[in-house]
Chains A and B, each alone.
Chain A
């Protein structure tokens, strides 16, 4: 099942890529190939990969039939509730990135870390609060003042 999803996505990607390649305007000046030739080869390569995958799917389903007759349990990955956890973390990370320049590095990072550590390192409040705040403050000053890396100050004055 999972392999069939990959196959579908691969074919869709190949289609989109071919379409996007066709959109590139060409002004062929002295370059015999132009900017489209290599991408077209890649599109063909991706279709080849899809064909290889199809061959593997057919071979594996033949194998799976044999093992199913023997009564082996299926090892197909299934969507379970833990995947919602990853979706949740991704949304929280997106919020962090979205507020990164507005709130500034220190505030957004401290808030981001605090929520995650509270969720995954339970019942150790002091440790979580200290790590989140100290990491945000110390790394901000270390990177901006010592290493010359620019981080957004945001609403804080420094």
Chain B
């Protein structure tokens, strides 16, 4: 009953004119960031944190969250019209969406992704509303040992599930944790790895790392592509911006299924929007009566994945809000934002700041309505962004990144850091080392070490605290499985196929 009051109260918070305005600003910027290649939601959120520093946390978080889910809407536009995903998770949309555009049905493809995104996005927020309270009350029992193992599981899952090579994911994760240890150790007051640079005493800020790895690295890749002459031209919107009855009937099933797949995958750590959309695509292809159309402009191939990657965002917010442990790169950046505003997400937040939590969650219902309006009748405006020459766009992204990084401390050390991390991000992408695990572990590193040491203090230095409770044992087992699985799976498959042959 109390929860219901909190939820209703949350609607009052998110309907305040101020917060409506920030929801609008967030989803508008999200759509723009999604449409523009080169700057994704992670970098967009990170760049805005220093600028929104003085705002009240509820409004700031509503806006940053709007960027996160708004970018998913915008990403599909770029995927359909130039076959490059404007945002990583729309990669599946670019297959059939672009084929539809080539056949003169760009309008239908854009319409189905906007409508699908809206329905699935709303399914996701309903799921978030329903699951948040039970999970948060369960997490109230968590002690430092449980938190440590939970973070360990999130990191192992992310490092082995993103990218091709689990080993590279693990290396990226540890690298992020090592960066997190730079600075003054809060428990002992001892400076660690500062290399004599006074600015490093406060640690390496995650904002500069994210801006470097995501925005600057993308600029290097993008400018290289211009030079190679591989950048693509945008197609014109053709056909009516609406669906025929037949198209609608073919899309509604994939939208529902995609919405549910996306939410479930989103809640789990590691997988994220890209895997959700791939799973939805393969599901639809398997269920379809005409699978041969997939890859040649099947509307189900746009409706399903696009829905899945939108409800995924709401799903990904479940562990972030209820446990305070994000399961991927973009939510890790969100956690960093929460912490910078002095808000610690987790079960206690539901007790202490119900207005903030529910104001934020409910703003997503409103934001989704705004997004469907921005992305359907007004889509023509955003498509114009695709005509900005990339040779101008990328240099401007550097200048914006420089402003954002300098705004944090007014120090050029942060500018050097975005350049260095930009180069690291560029080299990582050439070597297929994923950066999402690095960002996640960088943001969680400090909390992880703290909970490890607290647990050890409680147990008097005995490691057995980590296998004394059912929760920690389960989480440890899941961590071991997620590291071992990529190595064991091929062996099992080999055994299986040998069995078939004999």
Contact = CB atoms under 8 A, between A and B. Distances in A.
A49 interface: yes
Chain A interface bracket (under 10, 10 to 19, 20 to 34, 35 or more): 35 or more
B5 interface: no
Contacts of B219: 89
Contacts of B192: 24, 35, 39
Q: Is the interface of A mostly helix, strand, loop or mixed?
A: helix
A32 B395 contact: no
Interface in B457-497: 457, 460-461, 487
Contacts of B223: 85-86, 89, 116, 120
A86 B427 CA distance: 10
B140 to A, nearest CB: 26
Q: Which of B177, B403, B419, B457 has the most CB of A within 10 A?
A: B403
Interface in B405-425: 406-407, 410, 412, 415-416, 419, 422-423
A22 B165 CA distance: 31
A121 B187 CA distance: 52
Given A34-B188, A35-B188, A100-B415, A143 B407 contact: yes
A33 B453 contact: yes
Contacts of B449: 38
B193 to A, nearest CB: 5
A105 to B, nearest CB: 8
Interface string B167-178: 110110111011
B334 interface: no
A32 B457 contact: yes
A90 B228 CA distance: 18
Interface in A120-142: 120-122, 124, 127-128, 131, 135-136, 139
A49 B170 contact: yes
Contacts of A66: none
A55 B487 contact: yes
- Considering the complex of A and B, which 7 residue pairs feature the smallest CB-CB distances, nearest first? A121-B391, A120-B391, A52-B167, A53-B167, A116-B395, A49-B170, A49-B171
Interface of A: 2, 5-6, 10, 13, 17, 20, 24-27, 29, 31-35, 37-39, 42, 45-46, 48-50, 52-53, 55-56, 77, 82, 85-86, 89-90, 93-94, 96-97, 100-101, 105, 109, 112-113, 116-117, 119-122, 124, 127-128, 131, 135-136, 139, 143, 147-152
Given A13-B178, A121-B392, 16 more contacts: A5-B431, A6-B171, A13-B175, A20-B193, A27-B190, A31-B187, A46-B174, A49-B173, A85-B224, A85-B227, A90-B422, A97-B415, A113-B395, A116-B391, A121-B391, A149-B50
30 contacts: A2-B431, A6-B171, A6-B431, A31-B457, A33-B456, A35-B190, A38-B452, A38-B453, A42-B177, A42-B178, A46-B178, A48-B170, A49-B170, A52-B167, A56-B166, A56-B167, A86-B423, A89-B223, A93-B422, A97-B416, A112-B395, A116-B398, A119-B391, A121-B392, A135-B396, A135-B399, A136-B399, A149-B403, A150-B406, A150-B410
